[in-house]
Amino acid sequence: MEIGTRKLGPGEPVYIVAEIGGNHNGDLKLALKQIDLAKEAGATMVKFQKRTLPDAIPEAQRAVMKDTPWGKLDYVEYRERLEFNKAQYEIIDDHCRNVGIDWFVSVWDEAAVDFMEPFYPIAYKIGSPCLTDDGLLRRVAATGRPVILSTGGSTPKQVKHAIDGLDPICDSLVICQCTSSYPTDPTEINLRVLILAALSFRSEIELPTFQIGYSGHELGTAISIAAVALGAVYLERHFTNDKTQWGSDQALSLEPAEFAEMVKGVREVEAAMGDGVKVVYSSEKSKLASLRRFMA
């Protein structure tokens, strides 16, 4: 399958997404800086989030008070501080084009899809909290754009229901193993799901094209690199310029140096995977000549 101008799948370079999300804290200049840093660190794409407030927030959460850098605000007011408007996204769009990196968003409601469509996004992300929103799934599928679906906090039945909600309109889908805890304990990441999901979904899903990915919320980079070795062709991690900044996702995000190290590890694993055919490499032959006593 293709996202933007790049192919996505086995044998192709893994898509590595820097999830900026709300780590810009509503500061456009900081968001642009984070885009630059993500590009320098080797990200394939950057991702933001778009909500239509207050509709995208569960009603029970709207009046919950939260301590913020702007004082004590209810949850809707707090989220409003993190939302960019059309003019700001136009600046982000222009900046990404100038930098040479793709961008897209997680949409949290149907109106957010309508907001984003004029930007002709290369894909849409359905975050784990939205996996059971049938209306949103249908609206995203109707755009005809590739869809990345995270499966955190969801049962196999719910995941299958969501996929059925996208099929048959959506013909390009990435299904991401994900655990919705922040940060995620390694014992709850369950990377083997990547292998099992690929096998089970390929026998059950009618979609012409789909791939398997990993959206991680753990600390460090080793697990994400391992996900690639197990078959993930799409990798998404939260990204920030400084994880000590205020914000709920900052502490579990990767800073530029750490992200770059992950990218390096992923590219090394890609090179090491090979084609599965056992051969004797020319670099081995001289060593064999000096060490092997019996030649078959």
Tell me the longest C-alpha to C-alpha distance in the chain: 78
Query: Cα 242 to chain center, whole Å?
Result: 19
Backbone angles phi, psi at 128, to 5 degrees: -50, -40
pLDDT tens digits, one per residue of 247-265? 989 999 999 999 999 999 9
**Residue 178: pLDDT band with limits 50, 70, 90:** very high
Model pLDDT, residue 160 = 87
Q: For the domain 2-291, what is the CATH superfamily, name and number?
A: Aldolase class I (3.20.20.70)
pTM for this predicted structure = 0.93
List pLDDT tens digits, range 119-130: 999 999 999 999
Any bridge partners for residue 193, and if so which?
none
User: Distance between CA atoms of 87 and 36, rounded to whole angstroms?
Assistant: 19
Label residue 15 exposed, middle or buried (CB < 10 Å: 0-12, 13-18, 19+). buried
Question: Domain locations in the chain?
Answer: 2-291
Q: How many CA atoms within 13 Å lie on the side-chain side of 30?
A: 17
Which one-letter amino acid corresponds to residue 18?
Answer: A
- For residues 224 and 171, what is the distance between their CA atoms, to the nearest angstrom? 26
Coil, helix or strand for 17?
strand
Distances (CA, A) of 84 to 50, 113, 127, 196, 268: 8, 14, 18, 38, 37
